[in-house]
Structure 1
Amino acid sequence: MLDLLHREGVYLWYYFSLQFSQIFRYWALGIVLGSVISVFCKDWIHRLFAAMRGSRLGALGVVPASLLGIASPLCMYGTIPIAASFSQKGMPDDWLAAFMMSSILLNPQLILYSAALGPTALAIRILSCFLCGAAAGLLLRIFYREKPFFDFSAFGQPGSRDTDPNPMLRLLKNIGRNIRATGPWFLMGIALSALFQRYVPADAFAGLFGRNEGFGVLMAATIGVPLYVCGGGTIPLLMDWLASGMSLGAAAAFMLTGPATKITNLGAVKIVLGSRRFLLYLGFVALFSCLTGLAVNL
């Protein structure tokens, strides 16, 4: 019995250390990039978005709004107060929707994490998140043009934790907070990946998420709801799943529903939408992720 446990421990440590060595550099670079943008570029990105307010872009405004949402390093609870301040200054709801939707789905740090999945999966993630933000903005412009969609009354002006007068200390403190926030989930993701590699047959997984592509997309979109906690923590799992036969369409669906339905994001979204519009949000995410997955597989 002890020999068996020892042997299984050796196998699991091998898979864990192999996965850690493959992905650690992406996680570390993502931490540094995210902190640099948060400390030195965040205000500039938000000023760019605010500068759109006086333009006459119309429906085309969802394009730069979605791109700036991806560039923003803030989490949803940081993005909503920013959006609230923009709304008070007259920013249209469709542009705000594009900015907030893409900000939920992707940020510069997660882009670097996702580079570990390979260039094709990375390109699909960036493009699908951008299109999801733009589509959310266009739908609001069509169906809610004459009535407000958001209620920001529960959110005040955002506060900044990067207040140290020394720029390098601000950066180092931000990196430390970033490591504390994502590190445990990153290690948990690698541990789950090691368990998956050891105990889940690759053929069975390929049959579920690869060969039956329509069902695989639906399943991936569904499991994205309970499994997604932190972007960095899911990258090791996605690496293994793709290597085991998961289709790129199924992976795309997972990468959309996961962050969009992450429990902390849902709490913030529910506050600004209310019950009815919150259900519309969930329906939009589910439909868009499944259609995206099917389109990628085609």
Structure 2
Amino acid sequence: MTTLLPFKIMPLLVPAVFLIILGMVWLPDHPELLDNAYMDTFKTSFIGILLEALPFVLLGALLSSLLRVFVPDEWISRWIPRRPVPAILFGCLLGIIFPVCECGMIPLVRRLMHKGMPLYVAVVFILSGPILNPVVYGATLTAFRSHPWLAYARMGLAFAVAAGIGLIIYATVRKSPLRLSIKRETAEPHQLRTRGGRLVSVLVHTSDEFFEMGKYLIIGCLLTSGIQTFMNHGSLAAIGEQPLGSYLFMIGLAFVLSLCSTSDAFVAATFLHTFPAGSLLAFMVLGPMLDFKNSLMLLSLFKTRFAMYLFFLIFSAVFIGSVLASLWL
């Protein structure tokens, strides 16, 4: 358990350090930001984003737990097509059947790879699973009620990026990039039939995943509410007007915030009237595929060289895809 502690703490340190530095450097020069009007706006914004996102986080955790307890991993490996293109399409569509958040994706994929899932299909599932599922689609549609086409564009871009990277991995990677230290995993104790039955297992899994994802959601809501409340709106508008600045800003924000895919759309929606639609797509597609906590988990699963190669492919594909998508939005 102690070896896993840094991987659980480090994703929380980056936003926390960011908040501390921001408070020490910026607030002393702007005492008016501590005025009651600013704090009321901050609290209203924070509570609004949090209350909208929490039901979807809870639903995602519940569905993930039901699938872990009741659906054997062998069922997936048995149905994977042998030809690459159908297998990649199958990997993209697995998220519809297995709506697992990115927080629980790496342990699931690690088990599947040891049970026979090919590398390129596993990568496709890691990238597309947290986005291409009914829970995330419903959350995105709710967050962008007045702009439903953004939900469709998010699903389409995520599908294209995951499928394209899967084809590249299939064509360029021949040796297994799994770390040699990874051994075949055994089932977790509460995945088995405990004395309380499978219902207790589902409840334990749901509570674990909900609180695991919840802390990232709260930090994300704090940072986003702070940016929206305290940062000069003229500065945000200036970033949004730059051709590439808005994309780089939103991609960096997605990486640092490390939000759950069931809640990031509500954060992105707060920038709807400030940033171009393409940059919001980049935020919602890159975040679930590659954020700070996810990169640590990927580095624990794959060798460093392959992980860096995968990071480069994700960043490049999302950046280019979102810029091209903005031409049609």
Cα deviation, residue 288, structure 1: 0.7
Cα deviation, residue 184, structure 1: 3.3
Question: What do the CA deviations read for 1:65-95 (whole angstroms, capped 9, x no partner)?
Answer: 1221464344567544543444445433222
Cα deviation, residue 114, structure 1: 3.1
Number of equivalent positions:
290
Q: Within the alignment, does 1:28 sit opposite 2:55 as a pair? A: yes
Q: Within the alignment, does 1:16 sit opposite 2:27 as a pair? A: no
In 1, Cα distance between the equivalents of 2:35 and 2:97? Answer: 43
After superposition, the CA RMSD in angstroms is: 3.3
Cα deviation, residue 285, structure 1: 1.2
Higher relative contact order (CA 8 A, sep 6+): 2
Preserved contact between residue 161 and residue 321 of structure 2 (Cα < 8 Å): no
Structure 1 window deviating more from structure 2 (226-235 vs 30-39): it is 226-235
Question: What do the CA deviations read for 1:110-139 (whole angstroms, capped 9, x no partner)?
Answer: 444434431233222222222222112111
Q: Within the alignment, does 1:216 sit opposite 2:246 as a pair? A: yes
Q: What secondary structure sits across from 2:272 in the alignment?
A: helix
In 2, Cα distance between the equivalents of 1:212 and 1:69? Answer: 35
Q: What secondary structure sits across from 1:159 in the alignment?
A: coil
Cα deviation, residue 249, structure 1: 0.9
Return 5+ residue gaps in structure 2 as ranges: 1-30
Q: Within the alignment, does 1:157 sit opposite 2:185 as a pair? A: yes
| CA 1:150–1:158: 2 relative to 1, 3 Å | farther
Counterpart position of 1:253: 282
| CA 1:22–1:93: 2 relative to 1, 3 Å | closer
Cα deviation, residue 40, structure 1: 4.4
Cα deviation, residue 31, structure 1: 0.8
Counterpart position of 1:263: 292
Counterpart position of 1:196: 227
In 2, Cα distance between the equivalents of 1:104 and 1:32? Answer: 13
Q: Provide TM-score, normalisation by structure 2.
A: 0.73
Preserved contact between residue 250 and residue 280 of structure 2 (Cα < 8 Å): yes
Q: Which amino acid in the other structure matches residue 217 of structure 2?
A: F
Preserved contact between residue 178 and residue 302 of structure 2 (Cα < 8 Å): yes
In 1, Cα distance between the equivalents of 2:48 and 2:245? Answer: 33
Q: Within the alignment, does 1:238 sit opposite 2:265 as a pair? A: no
Q: Within the alignment, does 1:51 sit opposite 2:78 as a pair? A: yes
Q: Within the alignment, does 1:228 sit opposite 2:258 as a pair? A: yes
Preserved contact between residue 189 and residue 236 of structure 1 (Cα < 8 Å): no
Q: Which amino acid in the other structure matches residue 267 of structure 2?
A: L
Q: What secondary structure sits across from 1:242 in the alignment?
A: coil
Q: What secondary structure sits across from 1:279 in the alignment?
A: helix
Cα deviation, residue 205, structure 1: 1.5
In 1, Cα distance between the equivalents of 2:118 and 2:112? Answer: 9
Identity %: 16
Question: What do the CA deviations read for 1:236-283 (whole angstroms, capped 9, x no partner)?
Answer: 43222123x111211121223323332332123223432322221121
In 2, Cα distance between the equivalents of 1:266 and 1:7? Answer: 35
Preserved contact between residue 256 and residue 285 of structure 1 (Cα < 8 Å): no
| CA 1:9–1:33: 2 relative to 1, 3 Å | same
| CA 1:186–1:16: 2 relative to 1, 3 Å | farther
Candidates 302, 308, 312, aligned match of 1:273: 302
| CA 1:45–1:27: 2 relative to 1, 3 Å | farther
Counterpart position of 1:287: 316
